[in-house]
Structure 1
Amino acid sequence: MNLFRKGIIVALAIFVFPLLLFAQQDLVDKKQRADSLYESFQEEEALKLYRDILEEEPKNYKSLWRGSFLYSRVGNRLSDEDDQKEYFNHGIDLAERALQVDSTDAQSHFVMSVAMGRKALISGARDRVAASRSIKKHVDKALKYDENHAGAWHVLGRWHFKVVNLSWVERAAANTLFGGIPGDASNQKAADAIQKAIDFNDNNILYYYDLAKVYEEMGQDQQAVETCERAVELKSRTPDDPMLKEQCRKLIYDLQ
């Protein structure tokens, strides 16, 4: 090896390798900060970091599914419908990428069902009905891979509730365009599924509120009130919890 090549190797060792190690450590630090923010429900900040991580590691599975979930959650708080749709589309895109990385894990299917469900709520009747079939497929797969997944049970409960209470326009679209809605949805199945979500995660205020709304629809006002009373006693954790507690208090007032 001549002196010139030796000089190049020495230069790489002195200048380049430390930079690579620094970049690696920086990425590790970003992942740790993102996970910490995610777990403490600082969702907008966590989303920014997961996006940064995906710039460096496009196939990082955790960043893909968590990024998708956060796009759905943060987007749901936006006031402008076009902005919401943009966020939900980003959520669907990251969920699709997560499925490409691992389609046998519950999380990739779960976040796809969430993103599609959020987008369906601000779409027209035909698109809502079309989405309901895919939502059901993905939530069923999520529960196939993890039968204790609280979030997936909640989505399944919401699916039953939304489907059984479709408007006549949505039912007509389902029958005409898609041969009906798959599955035998019912309010009781909605209540049972959301109760399972609470069994697996009893600190999520949204689960209690959605269960109370199902009970209200079923005419079981006392159970709806008791469910809301449990919700308002819980500690607020997410940015949505104070509003959800107010909605629970209002439902209690309306039903008593």
Structure 2
Amino acid sequence: MRSFFLILFFIAGITVVANAQTADELVKQADLLEKQLKEEEAYQKFKEAIKLNPVHLHALVRCSELASRIGRRQTTKEKQMDFYQAAKIYAERALKVNPKDSEANVVMSLAYARMSLLKSGKEKVEYVREIKNYADKALANNPNNFKALFVIARWHFEVSNLNAVEKAAVKVFYGGLQKNSLDSAIYYYERVKTLSPNFVLNYLELAKAYNRAGKKEKAVEYLNHLLKLPNTAADDPTIKAEARQLLKNWKA
């Protein structure tokens, strides 16, 4: 009888190892799909991996970021918010696995950033605070995390664009706004450019920041540059289409 139970225990151990290996294999497949710009398929693969290993940090992080990306492409605000909330949930689970992980913190920041675009007033101001909070934590653990630096740059850009009501809310609840937010946005976008020279979206946002700062020639230079870059994310063709439209608008 004792031998029988030992055999069962041994088989159970093999099963656990097999499941873990299967989860890792699914993650490898998902990583490959993401490199091939098949983000929806990658998202599903990562979710399958999480079913087998609920604390797989990489899978949780990638699910969160992909949910934020895929949500951006949805046609209604309701569908967008569904994906953004899923991104937040996956980020929360990743942070439970490792609260200090830089990527886990940055995807939480990204989720709040996406949700903030659908909010206004006090709620938007609250989300804006969380965006920077998690991006700062990401940078504390990895000062060269270009995604976190990009979020910080976008944060400064958006703060510079808050309406009067939102600015008033910031002053009341958080003690005011940082000065020269637009200059800070440009500074951080330039840092991202150095760390990730093929990050297409960064050039688009950097061009917008320079244009707002009254440096249209510099803005046009970056738009033309991004059009020559390879596509490394599923949204890049759309980003390039927006860049072409901006070039037409700015020349008009």
* TM-score in terms of structure 1 length: 0.90
Tell me how far apart the structure 2 counterparts of residues 147 and 204 of structure 1 sit (CA, whole Å). 18
What is the match of residue 198 of structure 1?
193
Contact 1:163 1:185 (C-alpha < 8 Å) held by counterparts? no
Per the TM alignment, residue 196 of structure 1 is displaced from its structure 2 partner at its CA by 0.8
Greater shift, 172-181 or 53-62, is seen at 172-181
Gaps of 5+ in 2: none
CA displacement, residues 15-49 of structure 1 (integer Å, 9 cap, x when unaligned): 76765565444323212112222333321111111
1:85-144 alpha-carbon deviations (Å, 9 max, x no partner): 111111111111211211222111111110000000011221111111111111112112
In the alignment, what sits opposite 1:26? 22
> What is the alpha-carbon root mean square deviation over aligned residues?
2.1
Supply the AA of the counterpart residue of 2:50.
L
* Greater alpha carbon shift after TM alignment, 94-103 vs 64-73: 94-103
Q: 1:209 aligns with which of 201, 204, 213?
A: 204
- Pick one of 235, 239, 251 that aligns with 2:246: 251
How many residue pairs match? The answer is 251
Q: Does 1:126 align with 2:110?
A: no
Corresponding letter in the other structure for 1:27: A
C-alpha change, 1:196 and 1:7, in structure 2 (3 Å) is closer
Cross-structure match for 2:89: 93
Task: Note the residue ranges of structure 1 that are not aligned, 5 or more in a row.
Answer: none
Partner of 1:54: 50
Question: 1:23 & 1:137 partners in 2: Cα distance?
Answer: 36
CA distance in 1, matches of 2:43, 2:80: 15
Q: Distance in 2 between the 1:21 and 1:246 partners?
A: 47
Cα deviations across residues 157-176 of structure 1 (Å, max 9, x unaligned)? Answer: 11001001111121122234
* Alignment CA distance shift 1:17-1:110 (3 Å): closer
CA pair 188-56 structure 1, distance change in 2 beyond 3 A: same
1:36-47 matched pairs, under 5 angstroms: 36-47=32-43
1:161/1:185 contact within 8 Å kept = no
Question: What is the letter of the counterpart of residue 56 of structure 2?
Answer: N
SS of aligned partner of 2:29? helix
Q: Equivalent residue for 1:116?
A: 112
Residues 72-221 of structure 1: pairs in structure 2 closer than 5 A: 72-181=68-177, 183-221=178-216
The one-character-per-residue Cα deviations of 1:48-104 (angstroms, maximum 9, x if unpaired) are: 111112122211111111111111111111011111111111111111121121122
Q: Secondary structure at the match of 2:59?
A: helix
CA drift at 1:180: 3.0
Alpha-carbon spacing, 1:184–1:57, altered in 2? closer, same or farther (3 Å): farther
CA–CA separation in structure 2 for the residues paired with 1:65 and 1:40: 18
CA contact (8 A) 1:212 1:228 kept: yes
Counterpart amino acid of residue 215 in structure 2: Q
Tell me the percent identity: 30
Q: Counterpart amino acid of 1:190?
A: A
Give, as a single letter, the amino acid of the residue that structure 1 aligns with 2:193: I
